[in-house]
Each structure stands twice: as C-alpha cells, then as structure tokens.
Amino acid sequence: MVKLTIDGKNVTVAAGATILEAAATVGIKIPTLCWLQKVSPTGACRVCAVEVEGVDRPMTACNTPVKEGINVTTQSEKLTEIRRKLLELLLVNHPLDCPVCDAGGECDLQDSCFGLGASRQEYSALLEKRPIRYDWKLLESDPNRCILCEKCVKVDHEIVGADAIEVVNRGEATIIDTHDGAPLNCEFCGNCIAACPTGTLISKPFKFRGRPWTFNITKSVCAFCSAGCQIEYHARDGRVERVTSEDDTYNSGNLCINGRFGYSAFNAPERLIIPTVNGAETDWESAVSTAANRLKGIVTAHGPDAAAAIASPRLTNEENFLFQKLMRVAIGTNNIDSEARFGYAPAQALLAKNIGLYGASNPIDRIDTAAAILVFGCDLNAESTAVEYRVIKAATKNDAKLVVANMRDVKLTKYNHGRLKYRPGSEALLVNGLIRAILDAGVEDREFIAKYVSNLDALKESLAGISLSQVAEATGVPEKDIIESARLIAGKSSLAIIFGADAMRSTVSADCIAALGNLALVTGCLGKEAGGLFPIDEKNNAQGMLDMGVAPDSLPGYHAGNAAAVFETAWGAKLPAAPGKDLWQIVEGIEQGSIKALYIAGSDPLAAFPNNRRIRKAFDKLEFLLVQDSFPTESAKMANVVFPASLAPEKSGTFTTLDHRVQCLGKAVNAPGLAREDWDIFAELYGKLAPASVITGPEQILTEIKALSNLYGGECSVVKGRCQGAGKRGFALKEGLSFVPVSAKSADGGDYQLLVGPILYHNGTISGWSANNLTVAPEGYIAIAADDAGRLGIAEGAAIRVTSSAGSMTGPARISKALQKGLLFAPHHFRGLNSNALLEGSANLVTVKVEKG
Amino acid sequence: MTEPRVFFNFGITDDSHTLSAYRGRGGYQALEKALRTMQPLDVEKEVTTSGLRGRGGAGFPTGSKWSFVDKKSPVVYLCCNADEGEPGTFKDRWIFEHNSHQLVEGVLLAAYALNVRHAFIYIRGEFDLSYRRLLLALEEAREAGLVGERILGTEFSCDIIVHQGGGAYVCGEESSLLTSLEGFKGYPKNKPPFPAVKGLYQAPTVINNVETLATIPWIITHGGGAYAGIGAQNNTGTKLFGISGHVNKPGIHERPTGYPLKKIIFEDCGGILGGKALKAVIPGGSSTPVLKGFEIENVTLDAESVIKAGSMLGSGGIIVIAEGTCMVRLLQVLTRFYAHESCGQCTPCREGTAWMDKVIGRIVAGQGVKGDLERLEAVTSGIMGNTVCALGDAASMPVASFIKKFRDEFEYYIEHGRSMFDGRLEI
Amino acid sequence: MSCLTDKFDRLRATYPPEMNSSLVLPLLHLMLREKGHLTESDAIFIADYLGVPAMQVKEALTWYTMLHRKPVGKHVIKVCRNIACSLMGAERIIDYLKQKLGIEAGETTPDGRFTLLLVECLASCGTAPAMQVSDTYHENLDEARIDHILKELS
C-alpha cells in the first residue's frame, strides 16, 4: 500500500493505482475528458492535470501512478487556468453547432466548458471544415466536433475488438476515421457512440429524434441474447427511440448491435395490432372466446392430449409459467415444449443428471478473471456478444489463456493461444482427446477430483481405447495442437468452459455434452471463484423458460412427477397423468392426427425451426392453430386465431440470464394497437377455460413461482435503480460425482455439410423485423470455402443452390476464408432464405449437395 | 592543433570508414581493454568520472542515466537514438558516414556496462549513405567477431539491430522512439515510469544519442579523468558543433566545450555571408530560443554559458542568421515544422502548434490583426509544461523568443501587412 | 505474396523473437519498396503475418510520413524546406523544381516519372539547400545542379 496526501487528505491505496483513482477513494473528483474507466488511460486531453509538490510540471492524474509520500493538489488557480486554456484550445476547432448537435444536453465538452467558465473561442481563425461521414450505416461521424479523446477507438479496439475505426494521420490532421476513408465496416454495436463525449459519433436512426431530456427513460434488460445486458429505453410518444446502457451496469455499458439498434423491431410497421379469427380482424372478446371454444371442443372430443403448445424463450418467466400452467391445469396436458429442445434443454438435462448443473455454474463476470478459457463449438460473436466481450477482456487485459475450438474461424480466433479447428461431427471425440491429453500430461485437477469425483480410474479405462493419433486423424486437429491446448487450459487456477450451439446441436451432441461435463470435472473448473461451465443460448430467456417447467417432463423448478402433489394442492387441480410429448413428438402427433390443436406463443416454427417443411405439412393437418405473436410470422399466416402480443419494452415481468440472474423488465411503452402483454392474454384465455381462476399480473405470478419452484425466492431487490425481481438458487457443487463413459463416436458427413446458425447482426428472427439491423444485414447468404467455390465455379455473390434430404435453398454465395473445405454456412435469421428448412432434425449440421443456382 | 580530438582525429579518404582503417587508428582497442581488463561497473565508473553529458539535446549526465538501470534485470535494452531530426543538427550523419565503427564500439561498451544482449540503433528512415555505412560497419564487425556471440572470445555477447524510422521528428523523443520501436505509431508515453525502469517492452532501457555513445571508446581508452579534463567544468569534453545558415563555411567542427561561440562563427566558419552583420543565432537546434547578434558576445559553447545568455546548448546545431533576414517568415518555417511534426496525441500540442502556425500564417499573409502577438504568447504559455512530451515546449520556445526578441518586426508586419525585410530568408 | 513473405521471414530472423511487434515498421518499409505505396490491405497483410492487431499497423501506416498512401512517381523528389535550407534558398529551389517539372508540391508528373514532395529537415543543414531523389541525397543545390540531376535521371 502507498500513502500520499491529496488536497490535504491522507490517502492509502494499492501500489500501481493512479492519482485519479486514489483521489476517487476519498471523494475528490478530478475533471477528466479523455478518461474512460473501462479502457486504458490515454492521457491526451490533459484536463486532469494536478500539481505534485516538488515536480515543476503539472502531472496528469489519469495515468500517473501514486508514489509514497507525494503531496498532490487537485484544485488551484494555476490548475484552473491550465484547464481553461486546454478547453479553449479544444474549442478553437470545435464548430459550436450545439443547437443542431445531437449530443447537446449530454456533451462532456459542453459540461466541462460550462464548469470551467471557458466560453470564448479565443484564437478564432478560419475553421477548416472536414467532411461529415454521412455514408456510414447506422452511425454518422462529424470529425469537426471531435476532440480526439480516442475513447471510441479504444472501446472499438480494446472492448469490441473490431478495429474498424482508428486514429488516422498525425498532428492537427489527425482524425478518427476508417482507413483510407472507406465506409464503416464494423460490428455496429454503437459502443463508440456511447463513449463519444461530444456529438462526433452519433446514432443515425436517433438523429434529430429529440433532445435527450425530452425522453422517458426506463431501466430494463435487453431482450435479445441470454446474457441479460442492462439497458435503458428512451421513449416518447409510445415509441422506443433509442437504447443506451450506463457504464456502471453489469455489462459496463457495452452492448451489441441487437441491444443498441434492435429496438426498431418494436416500432416495425408490420407489428400485429389487432386479433384475427380466420384472417378477419376482430375484437379480443370474440377472438379469445373462439379460441377457448375451439380448444374446449377438441379436448372434449379427443381428450386433453389432443392439444399441445409451443412456448418461447422470448416470453418472460411469468408468462412461461402461466402458459405451462394453462396447458397442464386448464387444458390438462403435459404437451408443452419449445425450441430449447433442439439443444439447450437436452444439454441441460444431461449436465443436470451428471453434475447437478442447470445452466451456468457461475455468473458470467467470472469469465473476466478466469486464468484460462475454452470456447467450444460456439461463435460467441453471434450467440452472445456480451460474453464475447468478457472473453476478449480476459484474454487481452487479464492474461487468460484462450483456446478456441470451432469448425470455423470466428472472431475470437484472433485472440486465441490454442486453436482447435475440428471436422464437423468430431466434437465429442475432440473433447475426449483433450481429456486424454490432460491425463497423459498429468495436469488434471487432482485435488478437485479426489474431493468430488469417484471414478477417475473408470474414466482412464474408458479413454484407454482412444489414442491421440486416432483423435487427430478423425478430428483433423494435429496431435500437438491438442496436447498444447490441453496444457493451456488444464492445471490453471481457474478455467471457464463456454460452449454453444455447435456443441449442443452437434450431430453427436449427447456424447459431446457428456464429454464436456467430464472435461469440467477433470480440470476442476466448477465451484471456484473464477471460471466455470457456461452453456450459451442465442435467446434471452431460454434458461428462465426451462426453469418455469416449459418441458413435457418437468414442472417449474425442475420438479419431476413425484412432486406433483405440491402443485396439485397449490393449484387445486389434478395434474395430467400421461407423460407429455416433446417438440418432435408433438410434430409426430400432429402428423399422426392424435394432436389436433396447437397453441404457439412467441415462436415461428415455420421459419425458425429446423426441418420446417415437414412442420408446415404437419400444420396443414391441424384442426385448430392458435398463434400469439407480435409479427405476421409464417406460422401466424396459417393460424385460425391470432392474438397480437407485446414485445419486451411493452411488458412487465422477469427474464433469467443463462447464469441465473433474475432481472425485471421495465415497461417503457404501451403495446401498439390492441396488442396485449402475453401474460394478460394467457390470463384471459385461462379464465375462459377455467372460470374460477383470477390472475392479476406478473407480480402475483412471480409470488407463485417463488412459492412453488424452490428455485426462485427472496424479495425484490433494487440495485442502482434496477430491480432484480427475485433471487435464484445457483449451482452448488456436490460431492460424489462420476465421470460418464466415453464415446469415440464421430459422425461423418458427405462431401459437403451445411452449418446453420446465427450471425452477429441478428438475433433469432425478431431482428428480421428491425429496419436498423436490416440496414446492415438485409438478406441471407450462403458462405462457402474458397476452394469449394473455385471447384464449383461459384463466384462471390452468384446464386448457389444447396439441397439436403429435408429441403433446398438458393441464395447468394459468399466466399469465406473462415470455412474449412466441404463446409458451408448459412445464417438462420432470414425468412426468405429459410436455411432451417434444410436441417433434418435438431442438429444444426446437415449433409448437402451444392450446385450453381 | 593541440586539443584532443574524439572524432576529428583522422583524414577522410575513400576507405577511412572501413574496419581496417578504424583498427589502424586504434579502433576496438577500448573494447578489448574493457572486455579483458574491466568489469561492467568499471566502464560505468569511467563514464561517470568523465562527466560526459548526453549529446542529444537535454544534456543529462550519461553515467547518471546508466546508474538508474537495474543491471540484474533479466533483460536490459540499449537504444541508440539516431533519429537525428532537430533542424540545424547534422552531426550524427557525420559520424555514420565517416566513422560508424566508432559508434558500434561505443554501443558495445555501453552494452557491456549495462548487461545488454540486444542493442538497437534507431536511425532516421531518410538517411541513405549513413544507413548503408552503418550496415557495412556492422557486417564487418560481425565477421570480425566484434558483434554477436562471444565477442572477442569472451563471455560477452551482444547483437546490434538497426531499425529505420518512418519519418517522424517526434520519434527522437525517447519515449516516442520506444513506442515506434515497439511497432506502433510513435506516440510519446507519459512519464513516470521512466525508460530506465520500464522502457522497451517494459524492460529497463537506456537511450543514448549517437555522439554520446561514440564518445565512450575514447573515454575507455584515455580514462574518464582525461575526458573530464577537456573543456568546460560542468560540461566536459569535446563536442560536435554543426554550423549552418548564413555563414561562409558551414559544416561540422569538433571543439572543446567552453569554446567561444563568436569564434566558431567568425573564425572557423569564415564569418557571415556577404560580410553582413550578424542578426541572430539559434545556438542549439531549432527548438532553442533565438539570441540576438549582440547577445552572443561572451557566450561560450557549454550548457551554463548558453543558459545564462537565455538559450540552450541543445544538440549543438548552430543556426546563423544574417542582418536583412525576415524573422517573421523564418518563424513560419518553424511553426509549420512543429505543427507538421506534432504527433496528434495530446491536446495542447496538437491544437496549440496548429494554431500558432495558423496565426503566424495569417500574419505572413498580411492579414494579421492586433492582438495576434498576445494571442501567440497565450498559446505558448498554454502549451509549455502541459504536454506529454517535450515537443510542445520545443515548438513554443522559438515562438516565444522570436516575438520577444524581434517584436518590432512582427508588429510592423501586422500593421503594414508586409515584411520589414521583403520577406527575405536567403541572403 | 509468397516471395514477399520470404523476404519478411528473412527480416524477421534479424529481430529477437519476443520483439515480433517491432517488425511493423521494417515490414512496412519493405513492402513500400516493393509496391511504391501502401493501402489498408497491405497493413492487414502485415498484421496477419505478425499476429498483431490490424489497427496497430493501419495507424502506423497513416502516421509515418515516409509511407506513401497514394501512388507516387518513379522518382520521388523530396526537397527540404526547413530552416537551414530556407536560409540558403530552399524557396528558390522549390520554385525552380515546380516550374521545371510543371507540377505543384505533392503532385506527380503526368508521365508518372516524378513526384515532388516538400519535407522537413534532412540533416543536411551544413550542405544546404538539399533534396533527396528516391533515397539519394543531393546537397549544395543550385539551378545548374538541379538541371544536371534531372538530366541524369532522364
């Protein structure tokens, strides 16, 4: 610890702290302009100049480390004069167009000048006008307003890792721009806009929408991916006009394109605003009565199991809870499932069985401090950008060793220390190879294994049949890379294992997830302060939805059938005795005619689900299809009754992140037209089906969830103005775990395999209605490896036709260096391309035929 | 001449720069002596005793600079600052072109004293013959076992890497040089930490000027005491002075410190062009404050004397200005230079140098307004002491001193919209 | 690009391996000699080769004045305009060159043979005025010498 004096106050801080940080500990605020806590100090603006006794030059507090015994003065006439002069120098080049500047009212330069009384453009001479970059998408840059604090560049480089903008040129010619003035080509996260202290970088869709103080600001939680970034909705006249995030949030103010710009989906002109029955617009009373009568009729005629439901990870916990209760109690069937069936739910069930883990084992901020990180089968950039930021931070600022296992090159590969580019279908074998290499090197966590796991010998025995050379042969990863990666991740003080869709929806997913569980135990990555095991889902409330019992075989809180009595008592009704059908069984049931009525809320199976031509055919056989959604989806177009529903900023309730943080939504605007909150619609239908019930709102439902789930509890707690809604029991490591037997299976595809998955610029299908996202990524494409394209004579942008046993699609080719030979990739967000139709089942990979389109 | 010479001690011929020629005049004997008979600390002691002060401009005692370095650190770097860019300075070029081996030997001696395995010579990217001569010298030295593994068969190994700059004056500033050498645009770094503690790649690093390092062999051969006996008391030794501008015989002269400034101009350089009167002298490179002709009367070429006269000895680049030169337009040459060379990082320098240049430009264009001089003075005071590196000060000092010393010329220009001397620079 | 990477490899071998990042400027210089001017893709090529962030190389490319970002002529004439050369007639020399080449500073002759650039101090103060043609220094310039130099290049 270092002792020093600041403005006469004694301060003790850790060695290495800056004078600015030391001052903050005793409540002394030193003015800053270019300083931003979350990036490295720049020291460019010099506004934080302070005097240190015995040093003749003023020192910059933001980047000068403390020294034992120094005496610092932060306020003096001399310093005020220096600061004022600096601001005047900044102002000489500043256009003072505050009346038409979007940052007016939230401009650090304006505030600083006001604070220091700098109001003159003392050196006024001719201003050189620099061209404003109107040609960028979503962002606009006016370099005339720039004070070169470099915050935007540092955020872009250090946090996002996009390297899209840079400090160009030298001296007075210095500007922040793209290289050679090319149009901005970046992740369009807009984090640079948030960092900009002036109106240099502004949001185009927000430009001239209004002065910052004229909006109603509502704290809420992002409704796109499962990381649950904390945001603010800025709304006026019933519209969300922008989304921001403060630097003191859990996500440090960092968002992705979906978080910052995806809001335009909420304002989409296509929004459903009126209920329909058989395509005709009607009022709620008639729509709900029609639905209730049709459902009752089918149940009466064919029994409750003739009805089924598909819920959604977009719905709140309360809505999902109510939906499954409606199906189980008011209809009387366990036939409820969701898209989590394709990967997240079975993976969760496996890890729950093997390790007792439902979701992540630690909060995601423990990734920041992990000593090593393995990102397995996951394009974090697309699946959860917020988690990717944490990995970048860990790898670049906290010296974490990063191993990226992915069949494609992804953004994170530029940071990796170890790289495992495996053949599709060899995921499980690769994990087992890693385990083998760890055990061979003797770098397993022996202490952890001795305490928590009983059968290391059995694992060794079952691995005996798998040699590293065999793994290398089948996975295409050189043996030395497997050994090197094993050394990088094992034997460290902590390890984060992050896995995503390519693991959970692999063609060998069960073996892969089981092997990842083994890997977690071998490396002892569970139950530690840092690191952990982190399954990633693309959609915001996948975890909460499963917590709420949206699955045919589990009640809220993962209670199985034998806990039914508790629920029966509470709900005053018998729970259905027959086991429910999961998603694919529901589809089969419809095909076979045993399921005649289907209720879908917040999902579009005909666009967002795999093998959806099969599903479309099945839907043709339905007697009654009820769709509750916010957009005219493919499924809604086929529905007998459509209920218009609200989106995240229009509702109350809670979402649960992948790492068990329960956060309240803030209702920022009312739903458009006659659209209603999903819980409200469920409640009304519930009332029609079971007249005794009275449901008053999300709070009442949350109380019930807390009472019954044995998972959620506690009072609503408010931290920094953000409501947590409930606490949730996290993962507790228990002794007596076992390794599961190892499989050496590796799936082999044909010459060409198509991977279907998300891309950065979209999230699910909602962003497909967002004009902002569509500005950047308007349409689907089919990425193909350069070698393959050459062989097939396919040029960039030319039409390419890809066919599987389930369907085919034609789209523009994009030649990619990230893909290995024989692998194609198509984003799954686009209704037009409908790449999901080619998938044969839950797996995100399918053998295909490729030809010129 | 009876005075000892560190540099000008041989006749320049077509092959006087070669290893054999250098050896013929006793070259690399200092290295032999040090490696075989001296401990690293002995070398440092000799340098400390010599009183040698850095020849790059700041004049920091070399032995003292070396003493700050933790020689037990697993890695210590030595960087020779050969980014000679201070206008008016051309002495390092002379060393490279005529006696690169002397520098190489100096680098090796410093490396031995500081426990350096890899030394770098950061040379101006524009240099052509200098660069080629240096590469040639290194190749010869490598072949002769003087550079590389186990030098002269001893335990001492040192590689010397020549790194070319990219055209940036600020890279002559030591922290900027290091950033540049690390592969970045050459933004200077905040100090502390100082390079001796955390320099190149966070390792302790010594940065010495070419002339400084090339002096070391002489010191080791003749002893620090002998060197300390030359020249002025607190600024010992001989120094290379480069005289340019309006003199009859411009060029490099090696003189003991304490040598009269007037003598070097009027005797050694043959006086002022066309027999004109001396108007002004910039004594130590373009950044140092200008002195009026009469002010140099008793000035001698050592730090103390020049400071007393109101300027600095700097790099020893003496720029001579004859009567009839337009000081306003001459200042514009300098403000344009500093605005061009400001790195762009910190506000006071980036904005300040540009605005000084704009205001001077306005005056030169005949559009100066009343108050411009006060405005310029205000900008210089806003820059001085408030920047990351010394470039801000370097840019401000000429402006402040030109206006102070030749205010009437500036006022005349503003009032009449034209130069008092027809804008003449060339005489 | 493979012959280029061979040259890169040779240069890389002269630096200690832990100083990979230091090669940014040497490689930019090398590439400049090969290509005449450099663009973003060249910077990215170097960044990928060295495994350093692209931004680092791109920023360096725009910051160092010797690195041309636009095509230049076969012979690049760099005339010093700093203090010592100014005192010895740099303005006269520059005007003469402009008139002789028929271009302004910063421009390239239509036949692509000459680019005229004004540069800061070349450390030729004692032999002013001075200029550099491509790499070679020419000092103590006057009109006759310039005529001669340009003639030699023809």
pLDDT tens column, B42-58:
999 999 999 999 999 99
Q: Which among C21, C56, C63, C119 is the top mutation candidate for probing chain A, defined by the most A β-carbons within 10 Å of its own β-carbon? A: C63
| 3 state SS of C15 | coil
Min Cα distance A169 → chain C (Å) is 5
Q: Do A168 and C59 touch (CB under 8 A)?
A: yes
Q: Mean pLDDT throughout A444-454? A: 96
pLDDT of A428 above 70: yes
Distance CA B40, CA A653 (A): 73
pLDDT of residue A80: 93
Question: In what order do the strands lie in the sheet containing A216-221?
Answer: A216-221, A230-236, A239-244
Residue in B192, B345, B362 closest to A125 by CB = B362
Q: Do B125 and C82 touch (CB under 8 A)?
A: no
- Both tokens of A233, joined, read 């909705």
Q: Do C39 and A180 touch (CB under 8 A)?
A: yes
Residue in B350, B353, B375 closest to A123 by CB = B375
Find, among A168, A198, A166, A202, the residue nearest to A93 by Cα: A198
Phi, psi (rounded to 5 degrees) for A93: -100, 5
Chain C contact for B230, CB < 8 A?
no
* Beta-strand runs (E) in B260-343: 278-282, 291-292, 317-322
Residue in B190, B340, B359 closest to A123 by CB = B359
Could you tell me which CATH class the domain C75-153 is placed in? Answer: alpha beta
Q: Do C59 and A180 touch (CB under 8 A)?
A: no
Residues in A touching C53 (Cβ below 8 Å):
157, 163
- The b/e string for C83-117 (b: 16+ C-beta within 10 A; e otherwise) is bbbbbbbbbbbbebbeeebebeeeebeeeeebbbb
Burial class of residue A100 in the structure, from the number of CB atoms within 10 Å of its CB (0-12 exposed, 13-18 middle, 19+ buried):
exposed
Q: Is A764 within 8 Å of A539 (Cβ atoms)?
A: yes
Q: Do C84 and B321 touch (CB under 8 A)?
A: no
The residue of chain C nearest to residue B83, with distances taken between CA atoms, is C123
Min Cα distance A630 → chain B (Å) is 50
Q: What is the DSSP track for A197-259?
A: SSSSEEETTTTTS--GGGSEEEEEE-SSSTT--EEEEEEETTEEEEEE--TTSTTTT---HHH
* Beta-strand runs (E) in A670-726: 712-713, 718-719, 722-723
Residue in B342, B378, B388 closest to A172 by CB = B342
Min Cα distance A88 → chain B (Å) is 10
pLDDT of residue B1: 45
Neighbours of A39 (CB within 10 A): 20
Residue in C39, C58, C63 closest to A170 by CB = C63
Q: Domain C2-63 is classified in which CATH homologous superfamily?
A: NADH-quinone oxidoreductase subunit E (1.10.10.1590)
Residues in B touching A47 (Cβ below 8 Å):
347
* Chain C 99-138, residues with CB within 8 Å of chain B CB atoms: 119-128, 132, 135-137
Q: What percent of chain A has pLDDT over 90?
A: 89
Q: Mean pLDDT throughout C125-147? A: 97
Min Cα distance B14 → chain A (Å) is 41
Q: Which residue has the tokens 């996500």?
A: A251
Residues in C touching A169 (Cβ below 8 Å):
62-63
Average pLDDT score, chain A: 95
Chain A contact for B385, CB < 8 A?
yes
Q: Do A163 and C40 touch (CB under 8 A)?
A: no
Q: Do B166 and C60 touch (CB under 8 A)?
A: yes
Q: Mean pLDDT throughout A818-827? A: 97
Q: Do B244 and C24 touch (CB under 8 A)?
A: no
Distance, first Cα to last Cα, chain C: 32
Residues in C touching A168 (Cβ below 8 Å):
59, 62
Q: Mean pLDDT throughout A618-642? A: 98
DSSP annotation of A171 reads G
Find, among A213, A219, A247, A215, the residue nearest to A232 by Cα: A219
Min Cα distance A820 → chain C (Å) is 18
Min Cα distance B426 → chain C (Å) is 5
- Both tokens of A792, joined, read 């097939």
Residues in B touching A170 (Cβ below 8 Å):
168, 185, 340-344
Q: Is A604 within 8 Å of A830 (Cβ atoms)?
A: no
Q: Cα–Cα distances in Å, from B125 out to B172, B201, C64?
A: 12, 22, 10
Q: Do A166 and C55 touch (CB under 8 A)?
A: yes
DSSP annotation of B389 reads S
In chain A, the domains with their CATH numbers are 2-75 (3.10.20.740), 122-265 (3.30.70.20), 276-338+550-728 (3.40.50.740), 344-370+381-535 (3.40.228.10), 752-852 (2.40.40.20)
Q: Do B375 and A122 touch (CB under 8 A)?
A: yes
Residue in C14, C126, C137 closest to B242 by CB = C126
Q: Do C66 and B85 touch (CB under 8 A)?
A: no
Assign C1 a pLDDT band (cuts: 50, 70, 90): low
The residue of chain C nearest to residue A180, with distances taken between CA atoms, is C40
pLDDT in tens, A173-223: 999 999 888 999 999 999 999 999 999 999 999 999 999 999 999 999 999
Distance CA A422, CA A407 (A): 5
Spans of all domains in chain C: 2-63, 75-153
pLDDT of residue B276: 97
Chain C contact for B421, CB < 8 A?
no
Q: Mean pLDDT throughout C109-128? A: 96
Min Cα distance B224 → chain C (Å) is 30
Q: Which among B179, B202, B347, B369 is the top mutation candidate for probing chain A, defined by the most A β-carbons within 10 Å of its own β-carbon? A: B347
Q: Which residue has the tokens 């003598």?
A: B263
The one-letter amino acid code at A619 reads: F
Q: Which among A20, A45, A46 is the top mutation candidate for probing chain B, defined by the most B β-carbons within 10 Å of its own β-carbon? A: A46
List of residues 6+ apart from C141 with CB closer than 8 A: C89, C93, C129, C130, C131
Residue in A89, A92, A171 closest to B342 by CB = A171
pLDDT lower than 70: segments of chain B: 1-2
pLDDT in tens, A460-503: 999 998 999 999 999 999 999 999 999 999 999 999 999 999 99
Q: Mean pLDDT throughout C108-137? A: 96
pLDDT of residue C129: 98
The interaxial angle of helices B347-364 and A77-92, nearest 10 deg, is 60
Q: Mean pLDDT throughout A762-772? A: 97
Residues in C touching A157 (Cβ below 8 Å):
53, 55
The residue of chain A nearest to residue C52, with distances taken between CA atoms, is A414
pLDDT in tens, A528-572: 999 999 999 999 999 999 999 999 999 999 987 678 889 999 999
In chain B, the domains with their CATH numbers are 19-229 (3.40.50.11540), 235-322 (3.10.20.600), 327-416 (1.20.1440.230)
Assign A17 a pLDDT band (cuts: 50, 70, 90): very high
Assign C142 a pLDDT band (cuts: 50, 70, 90): very high
pLDDT in tens, A295-308: 999 999 999 999 99
pLDDT of A320 above 70: yes
pLDDT of residue B185: 97
pLDDT in tens, A140-169: 999 999 999 999 999 999 999 999 999 999
